[in-house]
Amino acid sequence: MENIIEERLERIEKMLLSQKNVLTFPEAAAYMGISHSHLYKMTMNNSISYFKPRGKMIYFERESLENELLQNRIAPVDEIEAKASTYVALNKGRA
């Protein structure tokens, strides 16, 4: 019974995080599924955008985090084959 309550609480917390537009540092790490140290390294290397309005607390836009997570898309084989077929058809005889 205790496990069920904990699981439900975790789901509720995740749903609440997905509704917020501005996330704190711990919320951003949880949202992205990465450790605090990894997120800290990303901020120190300026490889992720963040806000520091009063010089101490760090905040993140949820949309920016989503964009970060969706980088480097790997296309499925059928999409690559379709693009290759289109390229070959359009460039026939140009060699």
Per-residue confidence band for 95, with pLDDT thresholds at 50, 70 and 90 = low
Percentage of the residues of the chain whose pLDDT score is greater than 70: 95
- pLDDT value, residue 63: 92
- Nearest residue to 25 (alpha-carbon basis) of 12, 13, 35, 11: 35
**Residue 75 pLDDT greater than 90, yes or no:** no
| Phi, psi of 47, deg, nearest 5 | -95, 5
| Phi, psi of 22, deg, nearest 5 | -120, 125
- pLDDT value, residue 93: 65
Q: pLDDT tens, 38-70? A: 999 999 999 999 999 988 899 999 999 999 989
Hey, what domains does the chain have and what are their CATH numbers? 2-90 (1.10.1660)
Q: Which residue has the higher pLDDT, 4 or 40?
A: 40
CA distances in angstroms from 69 to 12, 49, 86, listed in the order given: 22, 12, 29
- pLDDT value, residue 8: 85
- Nearest residue to 64 (alpha-carbon basis) of 81, 50, 79: 50
